[in-house]
Structure 1
Amino acid sequence: MYTSQQPAIAVDGQNRIHIVWSSYLPIGNALYNIFYRMRNSNGLWGPIETLSVFPNSYHNYNPRVAIDSEGNVHVVWEAYLANEYYPHIAHRVKTNRGWSEVVVLQSSYRRENPSCAVDKFNNLQVVVTTNEIGPSYDIVRFVRTPEGNWEGPDTVVHFNTGSRYFPEIVATPDGNLHLFRRDFGHYTNYCYRIYYKRYKILNYVILE
């Protein structure tokens, strides 16, 4: 039986609703795939579109969606490639010309649980959980410029003890980024705690 999970939603400036989700629905060699659907302001649903068909696609999870000021639809997700055991971050954008090719930000470390938002400069801000800083899990950021160039990763949250997981990012028109995350370690009394921090951005640079 096919299952659907991990929905995410965004609304654009024309009151259209954009939904993405992951499903166990094998397509080619990919067992779990990412799907997209749009509901317009009149309540009419568009077709379901498959986003995660690309070379070596295998498992695809945890999609997130954000809309930029031009109305472009950005989708990021956690992508496992065939014969690999750690996730990468994948991105695809829909413009008035249709969907772009899938871009995979490859690494030899785990990058998972992405969250994304578009800032006032129309950059796509992506935060993820990763073990690439060490010794445990922390939060790093990638930035995709309006021209389609990727910057990063740069460190957003890192401590020498404990772990940081499941970042959630929101961008506000005043140029701030708001980040929530779940921490675990001695400083949380070994309980899961939610932490929040606000960042000011200047071009691509985070000013704490």
Structure 2
Amino acid sequence: MKEVTIVCLVIVVGLIIMTLSVNRLQKNAVIVDNNAEEFSTAYPNQRKLAKTSDGVLHLVYHRADSNGILQIYHAVSKDQGKNWSVEQVTHESADQCFPSIAIDSDNNLHLVWIEGWPSKPGIVPYVYYRKRTREGWQPRELVAAYATYPSIAVDSHNNVHVVYGTYVYSPGYYGGGNGVRWRTKTSNGWQIEETISSDRLWARYPAIAIDSQDNVHVAWSHSTRYRYYDLHYRRKTVSGWEEEIEISRDSDSTSSIPSIAIDNNDHVHIVWHQQENASYAYATDGYWSIRHRVYTDSWQPVEVVAGPIKYSQLYPTIAIDGKNNIHIVWYGKHPISHSFYQIRSRTYQNSWKPIQEITLLLHDQINPSLMWAFYPLINGVKTNQPKEGYAFVWIDGTTIKYQSSEISQP
């Protein structure tokens, strides 16, 4: 009886400590927009949050306009995320959704997004690009057709790199497109599109990062099988595209949408969630985990950052800070919150620290997106890396929230 009492007391004390920690973190959260929807900040292959060299934060996302049509919106904070102003970027008659942002060394914003909800049948989804200079938003430019979930990055010369995947509509039919494609815009304009994935039908959700040598790194979701998705990766150097590498594959599991970042040693980090032993495609049973893999001088073994557990762990996003610490944020359920998704995180600082519960609320908290980019590099400072810590946005019901860790003021 005494042992049971002691165990119960330990559990209660643990819950109190966790609740106090979560409450402290939640107090730092700031409301950006109350009129969002669940996918406004999805998915982890895209970057939604960026910062210009003057310290101004920029967030891009989609939400419905007064007519119920999804449009692209741009939120700005000039006081380190405490207050935000919002502008509508697109005013189209068709849905505009899933934007991604990058910023160059001249503080120009580079934006890509999809026209057409990418899982609806009978449409042609397009990827568009738009640039914002000191004079304002420039006219939009067509990048590709039958293209979905674009991701964007800039290199040291302010060249723009865009990757995007095929069109697959519900419940999983090929709709068009030629695999994962890469296209770049230089001072001479848009260059010819290149297909970089071996699979031309199901490859999508590409994530992109650029390293200190301007090598291009792309990871994506790949499936030539009916049920299971794997992650593939490819690098482009001055010599061209290297061989395609399989990052994750298991006979009875699904590896999801990747997020990618480059550390200060040019090591490549990729994270994803993995589901094992599911009873059927798209089932929510089985075992879930958050996984990480790094390329140093070769690909290192896969690390399990969280799990495997029977509670869903979903869509991790990764960032590296100025001290080369690794930050992973995702959403998932756990024994204390088995009915609602919560925002969770884990940091590598010489070793993996314990999982941190960022939220603990009685409704779902989903689709986090961390700020990170290798470029621009201005006077030796990577302006889109917090000095130490992290900054991110996520969805709380129909509200977009922003938060930075206490030491990260971006």
8 Å contact kept, 2:288–2:310: no
Q: 1:16 — aligned with what?
A: 159
Structure 2 unmatched runs, 5+: 1-122, 125-145, 169-173, 279-285, 354-410
Question: How many matched pairs?
Answer: 195
Give 1 or 2: higher strand fraction: 1
8 Å contact kept, 2:205–2:220: yes
Structure with the bigger RCO (C-alpha within 8 Å, sep 6+) is 2
Q: Distance in 2 between matches of 1:116 and 1:132?
A: 22
Give 1 or 2: higher helix fraction: 2
* Pick aligned residue for 1:87 from 207, 224, 229: 229
Superposition deviation, residue 150 in structure 1 = 1.1
Q: 2:346 — aligned with what?
A: 197
The one-letter code matched in structure 1 to 2:337 is T
Give secondary structure in 1 for the equivalent of 2:190.
coil
* Pick aligned residue for 2:208 from 65, 70, 74: 65
Cα distance change of structure 1 residues 192 and 61 upon mapping to structure 2, 3 Å threshold: same
Provide the alpha-carbon RMSD of the alignment. Answer: 2.6
Q: Distance in 1 between matches of 2:318 and 2:264?
A: 14
Q: Does the alignment pair 1:100 with 2:225?
A: no
Q: 2:192 — aligned with what?
A: 47
Cα distance change of structure 1 residues 155 and 104 upon mapping to structure 2, 3 Å threshold: same
Give secondary structure in 2 for the equivalent of 1:7.
strand
Q: Distance in 2 between matches of 1:151 and 1:62?
A: 23
Superposition deviation, residue 43 in structure 1 = 7.0
Bigger CA drift: 89-98 or 153-162?
153-162
Q: Distance in 1 between matches of 2:147 and 2:238?
A: 28
Cα distance change of structure 1 residues 152 and 123 upon mapping to structure 2, 3 Å threshold: same
Cα distance change of structure 1 residues 112 and 156 upon mapping to structure 2, 3 Å threshold: same
Q: Distance in 2 between matches of 1:85 and 1:132?
A: 12
Superposition deviation, residue 84 in structure 1 = 4.5
8 Å contact kept, 1:6–1:63: yes
Cα distance change of structure 1 residues 19 and 177 upon mapping to structure 2, 3 Å threshold: same
The one-letter code matched in structure 2 to 1:46 is Q
Bigger CA drift: 59-68 or 155-164?
155-164
Structure 1 unmatched runs, 5+: none
Q: Distance in 1 between matches of 2:213 and 2:221?
A: 25
8 Å contact kept, 1:30–1:59: no
Q: 2:275 — aligned with what?
A: 131
Give secondary structure in 1 for the equivalent of 2:264.
coil
Q: 2:325 — aligned with what?
A: 176
TM-score (norm 2): 0.44
Q: Distance in 2 between matches of 1:196 and 1:185?
A: 13
Cα distance change of structure 1 residues 21 and 100 upon mapping to structure 2, 3 Å threshold: same
Give secondary structure in 2 for the equivalent of 1:86.
coil
8 Å contact kept, 2:288–2:309: no
Cα distance change of structure 1 residues 173 and 132 upon mapping to structure 2, 3 Å threshold: farther
Give secondary structure in 1 for the equivalent of 2:197.
coil
Q: 1:110 — aligned with what?
A: 254
Give secondary structure in 1 for the equivalent of 2:336.
helix
TM-score (norm 1): 0.82
Superposition deviation, residue 13 in structure 1 = 2.0
Give secondary structure in 2 for the equivalent of 1:63.
strand
Cα distance change of structure 1 residues 13 and 86 upon mapping to structure 2, 3 Å threshold: same
Give secondary structure in 1 for the equivalent of 2:212.
coil
Superposition deviation, residue 189 in structure 1 = 5.2
1:179-198 CA distances to partner (integer Å, 9 max, x unpaired)?
11011345335222222333
Q: Distance in 1 between matches of 2:162 and 2:215?
A: 14
* Pick aligned residue for 2:307 from 155, 158, 175: 158
- Identity between Structure 1 and Structure 2 (%): 26
Superposition deviation, residue 136 in structure 1 = 2.1
8 Å contact kept, 1:8–1:65: yes
